[in-house]
Amino acid sequence: MTQVFAYIVQQDGVADDTALELIAAAKKLQADDAQVTAIVTGSGSDLDAVCTEVAASYNEVLKIDNENLAYPNAEIIRALLLKILPSDGILLVPHTTFGMDLGPGLSIKLDAAFVADVVDFEGLDASILKLVRQEYSGQV
């Protein structure tokens, strides 16, 4: 089974609302018993608070505590994610300004696909991930 990871955006010790959206999306990929790992980055006690918060929804939480991440930096986080993500894993990133900064560059470094603007999943069929996107901002 493919490992699914979710990058959790947080600020001041509170996980972004997208954390719950990502767990719901992951479960659509692998059914309700999906093993989903949250990845939370930051520094200090705020990071600990977020990890405790998301642990209620995710099977596992990977905490990356680095004083250079007191303010999110996509370049630093990208380099750290390269060290922990398996080559066949799926990383869910929220469609936020930071997610759009992180995702494309990470996909290049991993030599993996990046798909933006996904609105739904049809599931994972063997090695084929079926996604639903809006076409041309809903204009077509």
Confidence of residue 53 (pLDDT cuts 50, 70, 90): very high
Is pLDDT of 34 > 70? no
For 80-94, what is the mean pLDDT? 93
Beta bridge partners of 121: 131
Confidence of residue 127 (pLDDT cuts 50, 70, 90): confident
Res 33: pLDDT: 64
CA 84 remoteness from chain centre: 13
- What is the rounded distance in angstroms from the CA atom of residue 53 to the CA atom of residue 88? 27
- % of the chain exceeding 70 in pLDDT: 94
Tokens read off for 14: 């509170």
For 103-113, what is the mean pLDDT? 94
Among 99, 135, 110, residue whose Cα is nearest residue 25:
99
- What is the rounded distance in angstroms from the CA atom of residue 58 to the CA atom of residue 87? 21
Instruction: Classify domain 4-138 at the CATH topology level.
Output: Rossmann fold (3.40.50)
Res 122: pLDDT: 82
Res 25: pLDDT: 87
